[in-house]
Structure 1
């Protein structure tokens, strides 16, 4: 189909955009800076700052370190731990599900582009819309825990850490960490990519008489 490849310029442009959004979400999972706790120096936190992620907590401490040096102390947060707050447990589950669905949505977009550039009309629009719908679902699944953790920071919610974490249950104050901003940016890019893929329409060749024996084709968007 001669005009099919010409109809996917927008989808081709947002393909890397959606991939970047997926990568940013994956990065946010590994980052420990979801919440930045400002803590009294009476605790083991020598710098006065602790980073709370969805999988671990970390802070610098003079304890167990040579004089003049700091050591990074990290403790794991597991889904089955009784102290794990619901917003962190939700992030552990939802974002990983989101990454799986988002990867499938990206694959559908690749398949649709492959059909378009090979002139295969069959399933092209369906694959674009399915990929867009999956990408949008992935973005929503990731957005829920991101906003929930953002609200927990803004309202200075405590976490009942066990004693071996060497952290207080409530900080003096909290700040939004880099990971939340990275995740929100990833969600925004995925929403843009999903919207453009869902809005894809196949071109229709319509023959118009020009008063000659040679027909001319015009794209009419369905």
Structure 2
């Protein structure tokens, strides 16, 4: 059995990076500040700022208040609603898939590192486990980057959403910018991609005849043999 504990230090650090990236992806999915709308009509939107997230649209108001939100008015954005734009639908579906792939990748990293530090009979299985883990982390990064970049493109081009009247949202914002949901989600995707690359680049240590049980010649002992 080959000694592998010294070969997994970079992958141990990558596990920490992937865990942070996975958590940032989860936080981004729950935030309402994906697309921040700036509006001039303050009859309903008292602050002049509305937030469009993946799951709901909200704004602060003194006239329209959702129970349980104090001074905030929120309406859920359904996956199958006719007004829901495709980039929001992609966010709802792909971000959840990203969380699942990232969780599987982190679990695979724990399993792979366990094999490294506690030893396995076949070192080739460690390499395969790390490659699989890296592929899952890269998949998580890719599936989250698609809706993140799509929504960022919609912000850059000031795209509007035709909300139903009960949302009390304007037909179009004066301007909009990317909120913390997109920023944190992008950072999480980058961290997942970095960790995936590190996992995939794992290399087995060079073969050592001493650790493989073959032994090594002792020149000093041989010199005494010839005396």
Query: Structures share a fold, TM > 0.5?
Result: yes
1:207-222 matches, cutoff 5 A: 207=209, 211-212=219-220
Q: Residue 31 of structure 2 aligns with which residue?
A: 31
In structure 1, the partner of 2:203 is 201
- Aligned-pair distance for 1:14? 1.2
TM-score by length of 2: 0.88
Output aligned runs, 1:172-211, within 5 Å: 172-207=174-209, 211=219
Per-residue CA deviation, residues 110-158 of structure 1 (Å, 9 max, x unaligned), is: 1110001112125211111100001101100000000000000010000
Separation in structure 1 between the aligned mates of residue 100 and residue 60 of structure 2, nearest angstrom = 34
SS of the equivalent of 1:90 reads helix
Query: Secondary structure, in 3 states, of the residue corresponding to 2:24?
Result: helix
Would you say the 8 A contact 2:64–2:73 is kept in 1? no
Judged with a 3 Å threshold, the aligned counterparts in structure 2 of structure 1 residues 114 and 97 are, in CA distance, closer, same or farther, namely: same
Aligned-pair CA distance for 1:168? 1.0
> Does 2:85 align with 1:77?
no
- 1:93 alignment counterpart: 93
Deviates more, 1:4-13 or 1:37-46: 37-46
TM-score, with length taken from structure 1: 0.90
Unaligned runs of 5+ in 2: 210-215, 223-227
Secondary structure of 1:206's partner? Answer: coil
The structure richer in strand per residue is 1
The 1-side partners of 2:143 and 2:134 are apart by 14
Q: Deviations over 1:142-183 (max 9, x none)?
A: 000000000000100000000000011210000110110000
Contact preservation (8 Å) 2:44, 2:64: no
Report the number of matched residues.
210
> Runs of 4 or more off by more than 4 Å in structure 1?
none
Matches within 5 A, 1:152-163: 152-163=154-165
Asked if structure 2 preserves the Cα contact closer than 8 Å seen for 1:90 and 1:145, the reply is: yes
Kept in 2, the 8 Å contact 1:41–1:47? The answer is no
RMSD of aligned alpha carbons: 1.7
1:134 paired to 2:136: yes
